[in-house]
Structures are given as C-alpha cells and as structure tokens.
Amino acid sequence: MQNSATPTHCPYCALQCGMNLTPVPDGGVAVTERADFPVNRGALCGKGRTAPAVLSSSVRLTSPLVRSGGTLVPATWDEALDRIAEGLLRTRAEHGPDACGVFGGGGLTNEKAYTLGKFARVVLGTSQIDYNGRFCMSSAAAGGIKAFGLDRGLPFPLEDIPRTGCVILVGSNLAETMPPSLRFFTELKENGGTLIVVDPRRTKTADQADLHLMPRPGTDLALALGLLHLIVAEGRVDEAYVTERTAGWEEARAAAMAHWPEYVERITGVPVPQLREAVRMFCEPEAAMVLTARGPEQQSKGTDTVGAWINLCLATGRAGKPLSGYGCLTGQGNGQGGREHGQKADQLPGYRKLDDPAARRHVAEVWGVDPDSLPGPGRSAYELLDALGTDIRSLLLMGSNPVVSAPRAAHIEERIKSLDFLAVCDVVLSETAALADVVLPVTQWAEETGTTTNLEGRVLLRRQAITPPEGVRSDLEVLRELADRLGVEKGFPTDPEEVFEELRRASAGGVADYSGITYRRLAEENGVFWPCPAQDSDSDAHPGTPRLFLDRFATDDGRARFAPVSHRPSAEEPDDEYPVLLTTGRVVAQYQSGAQTRRVDELNAAAPGPFVELHPRLAARLGAAEGDPVAVVSRRGRAVAPARITTGIRPDTVFMPFHWPGEGRANTLTNPALDPTSRMPEFKTCAVRVEAVGS
C-alpha cells in the first residue's frame, strides 16, 4: 500500500468523479475529497463515498470457481483457466469460431476493452462480440454520427453548462443518477439561465426545472418535432446558420410542419401553452443546449428521436458554437471508451468501422495479423444474447450482469442456461456469474491502474491504491493466460501502460484519436480530451479538444446533417389487455444491475428493494394502498413489488427501477424491440397491466 493519498476516480458512472484514496489502519482505504478535479470539485454521491466497501473480501470473489456436480466450488487458477480454454477450443472445433461469443462491460477500462476486442478477433477469430454499453447510449451515438459525423457524449466540458442561456434536459434524472453534476444546473439558474426538464415523472431533477414537460413515454420524438414546428412557425430559425453550416433542412422542415401543436398535444399529453413556452425559453437566449439521456434514447425509434432533438439545435444555430450544442449524458463509467476501442460489434480501436478496408489494414498492422483474418461485424448486444445456446454455444463474459440488466430478462436467463459453456470474469458473484461453468475473480478499480473516458470525452488515469487480495488477478492477466492456452503467445501484455501504448498506435488517425495522450500527461493533467493526435515532439504536444465542431463538423463537407424524421408509435402501445405504460430507471443509492451496490449496507438501507410507482387514481382503481404488493404484467412476464403512490407520475404510466433480480426484476417486463440503426432495445416504454396482489 502507498503511504499517502492516491488521486483516482470513482468506479461508477460516467462523471468519473475525482477522489483520493487514503490508507486506513485495517488495511483498506477511505475516500477523501479531491477538490482539484473540475467535474465534481470534491463532491461525491453515496455510491462513490462507499465504493471501498466492495473491496472487502467479505463481499467479493477471491478464488476461482468451477462447476462440479452442479455446484460452483473453489479451484486453482490453472484448473479454471484450463477449463475455459478447453471449453472455447471445443466449441470452435465443433461449431466454428462464431460459435464463441464475447460480451463485455461499460465499466472496463480502455485497456481492458481494447484487449477484449483484440482477443475476440485475433485469438478466437469470432465476430460475435458486443457489450452492455449498447444498452446505454448507442442511439445517441448513431444520431450524433448521422448529424455531426462524430459521436462523443458531450462535445463540450460540463463547465460550459452554467454559462449557457437555456438547457433542455430530456429523459435524465441526474439528481439521482449523477448527483454531483446537478451543481452545474444549479449554477446555470443562479447565472440567470433556465432549465427545461422533459420527463413523464416529477423527479428530483424535474423539481429543479423552470419548466417541466411530462410527455407519455415513447412520445419524445413527436415532442421534439412539435417544438421544431413552432420554431419555424414563429420565425425563430437562424436562416444564415442553416445555409452556411447545415444540409438537409428542407426535408426536415417539411417533416416537422406535419406536427402542428394540437396534434402533438394529443400524442404527448403536453399542453400547447407549455410547448410555446419551451420554444420561447430555448430561443430567446444567445446560447442554449439540448442534453439527452436514456429516456428518449432507449426506444425502438431512439436514433430518430435523438436526431429530432439535434434538429432543434441546428435550426436555431445552437451547434458548433460556444456554450451551445447537443450532448448525451453517458451513463456507464467507461461507456464512451468501451465502444471507442473495440468492444462494439462493428468497431475497431479509434472508433474505426470494422467493414472499412483501410481501418482493417491499419489495426491489423498494429496487431501483426493479416487484415483478411479479422472477422466482419457481428451481432448487437441483445441479438447476441438472444442467440446463446443456438448459434452461439460458448460465452466469455466480462463485467456485465445481463440476467438482471437485459430486456426480456427471463428469456435471456434461459438462453444463458442453455449454453454449452459459460465463463465469467467479475468482482462479485453476480446473478449471471452464479450460472457459469467457471468464474474468475478479477481486480477492481482501486487495485489496478488504467484509463477511462468520461462523458465529456476526457481521458482519465485511475491509479492503483492498494494491492489486490491473494487469489485475484487482473482481466489483462486472464486474457494473456487464455491467449497462451489458445495458441497465441504474443501480443497480450499485462502491463496497462504497455497496452495503452499499443492502443495509442491503433487509434492514431481514427475518429477517436488517442495517439497524443500518454500516462505521463494523464498523471500531470486533469485528463485530456480526445481527439488528441500525436505531434512531432513533446514540446509541441496537442492540447486535446475540449470543444468540438467550432470550425466545422466531422462530416466530409464540414456541414451538419438534419434528420428528416416523423413520429411513429412505439413498438408496443397500450390496449384493452395491457392498458398502462411502464417506464424504467434508476434510484440514487443503487447502480445498474446492483451487482456491487447491493452488497453495501449503507446503500441497501437507503434503497432496499424494488417498487412500483403509480398515480393515486390508478392505485384507487386497484384498491392498492402505499406499500401494498402490486403485480405488473407484460407480454413477457410478471414482476411484483410494493406500491409507491405519488402524484409525480402520469396516471397512464407506472415506473420501476431495474437494479434488482428475482420477483421484482423490472427487466422481466421490458420489450427487446430494437432501433433499426442503433440496435438499442426499447427499455423505456412497453404496455402492461397492473394488478393488486392478494395478501
């Protein structure tokens, strides 16, 4: 253990808040304030403060486990690794390389994500790799690439938010999901700016809004189109900007004009006067922003919905200008870096496309392989999981818990159980790991060094603060050992800085160019924003790019593209059998599938289990009182949890958080209908009925 405080970053959300880890007498570490990091300025939520609790050997894995007689039992590392290698080799020999699947996580460091993608394509030769970040911001990524030619969560630093004039925050409850970020919006209002929140619930974030719009779940696309209609009708379009910096305006304008205010009110439930007020608030200041999150993105039309919100920024000249623009509030800790460097089914490091011959040649040269040996694009996350036990017979899974987090979760659980072989690398025995043939205990954030990329595109250095327990190894060591056993003895270093040096070369010249970033720079600076290409000398180092698009967009002609989109219904609308809409989300004290946070006593005391949030009118029809068990039933299954009755939700909607397994598993209900472009499942809306449960 080091003798003094170690500056590092929180293991949870994409803020990647700065913190110091200080040794304590019992051999662990305590979290202390790190005020120098500009994203959180020392502030932390409960998850960050209690993160060291999961380092305890009492709650985490410290020995490999192998299945024997139907039970997971301790094993040696050699036995466990040999078992995995044998399972993958057998599958490949009997069914071909694409019968081996790889599924990663948005919490893996850049070094791990890069190495996992390389392992899948070079060692296994499989195209079947994706990651749970597909469930995070893939629709925003697809919409951003279509509009701007580049996807980075925020094209500006968070510190710009307080200095803009208005923010429209769509489908984000950041007061609970990213609490330290709320200060930027508080400062926005203190500076005279305004905040518009779009959410079907009256959340803690909506309580901070100057204007709260409450659309029906699944109608965010119609809402954005209705606002654009009013912008045109009221003469608020920045015609000079549209002419000089965009393309496709006439088609987008024509589509928007079919969404007149009264029509949009019927679809969304948002009154026309509120639509007009939102347009006034957004258009009157000199600068404004639109920020989206999972609400509009986790829909079967999420890419089009993002495109419609981007259209507002383009029509009013609010993109590629100081203190203005569209951004996405990435959720997972390294959701941004995780897809930039090879976990995504269709991407190579540097955000290169797998079907681009030049990209294949560049990366293959770095890897020392024939470009023709690299497989093509594979299945997206849900499609990969849905193919388990049929086309895909073995799965290597790192840092994800799809038994809780995937849509139509009961079906995915059955698909996982039908595999010939499952190996899981994780910190804890998650619900998915409990089904595995082999489980490997791996190091955590405080026990290893590596980089992550936060929602601003800021590349950060997490530093090792403590020695991992005996019996625990890093994911990089696991992949090196498996590569050795599978016949690839070179190209898989275990030193994270050595991996990062290779990542720099692989990303060089790509959209997400990290080639000018080094561990030395990251240790001296508060992160470096990509793109950051390498320069001829260290004295002439590229400063990074905190703000994108100020001169031109990343398209071939430098112009942003409008999205010519129209409203369409969700994949599943209410009917007589399923008359209510379900939407899902998070609570402040738990994170994602809860695999780690549900092992922290303080967090469990604050959020002990699932619930069903419903309006008093719906509760009265059911005869349900506060705390009574109610059942929520969809075409995919049934979940039961206590009622939480509130006027802060629409009467036609119920809400469930998705952090828990078992009877209250919200994702038992959710719809895997996929966006045709991003392949994002429709987590945020499906048709259900709600039933009282007899005592």
> What pLDDT does 673 receive?
98
What whole-number distance in Å separates Cα of residue 71 and Cα of residue 64?
13
Q: Which long-range contacts (CB under 8 A, 24 or more apart) does 22-25 make?
A: 23/466
Q: What is the pTM of this model?
A: 0.96
> What pLDDT does 433 receive?
98
Beta carbons of 268 and 569 less than 8 angstroms apart: no
Beta carbons of 156 and 548 less than 8 angstroms apart: yes
SS3 513: coil
Copy the structure tokens of residue 152: 């980075």
Residue 153 has pLDDT above 90, yes or no: yes
The partner residues of 396 in beta bridges, in order of sequence, read 102, 423
Closest CA to 268 of 346, 216, 332: 216
Strands 29-32 and 18-23: antiparallel
Q: What is the mean pLDDT of residues 560-579?
A: 98
**Residues 656, 660, 666, 667, CA torsion sign:** positive
Closest CA to 271 of 235, 315, 223, 228: 223
Each residue's pLDDT tens digit, 494-524 = 999 999 999 999 999 999 999 999 999 999 9
Q: What is the mean pLDDT of residues 153-170?
A: 98
Beta carbons of 463 and 450 less than 8 angstroms apart: no
Start-to-end CA span in the chain (Å): 54
Q: What is the mean pLDDT of residues 136-144?
A: 94
Band of the pLDDT at 3, cuts 50, 70, 90?
A: low
566 C-beta neighbours (distance < 10 Å), count: 15
What whole-number distance in Å separates Cα of residue 371 and Cα of residue 654?
50
Q: What is the mean pLDDT of residues 281-302?
A: 97
Closest CA to 544 of 522, 529, 534: 529
Q: What is the DSSP string of 440-489?
A: EEB--GGGS-EEEE-TTSEEEEE---SPPPTT-B-HHHHHHHHHHHTT--
Each residue's pLDDT tens digit, 524-568 = 999 999 999 998 776 679 999 999 999 999 999 999 999 999 999
> What pLDDT does 565 receive?
98
The mean pLDDT value of the chain amounts to: 96
Closest CA to 690 of 644, 660, 648, 661: 644
**Residues 93, 94, 98, 102, CA torsion sign:** negative
Each residue's pLDDT tens digit, 622-675 = 999 999 999 999 999 999 999 999 999 999 999 999 999 999 999 999 999 999
Band of the pLDDT at 1, cuts 50, 70, 90?
A: very low
Each residue's pLDDT tens digit, 232-254 = 999 999 999 999 999 999 999 99
- Strand stretches in 109-172, DSSP E: 129-131, 166-170
Write down the H helix ranges in 517-573: 519-524
Instruction: For residue 110, give the amino acid letter.
Output: N
Each residue's pLDDT tens digit, 193-211 = 999 999 999 999 999 999 9
What does the chain come to in residues?
A: 695
Rg (the chain; Cα; Å): 24
> What pLDDT does 2 receive?
47
Write down the H helix ranges in 452-609: 475-485, 496-507, 519-524, 601-606
What whole-number distance in Å separates Cα of residue 160 and Cα of residue 157?
6
Furthest CA-CA distance within the chain: 73
What whole-number distance in Å separates Cα of residue 300 and Cα of residue 436?
31
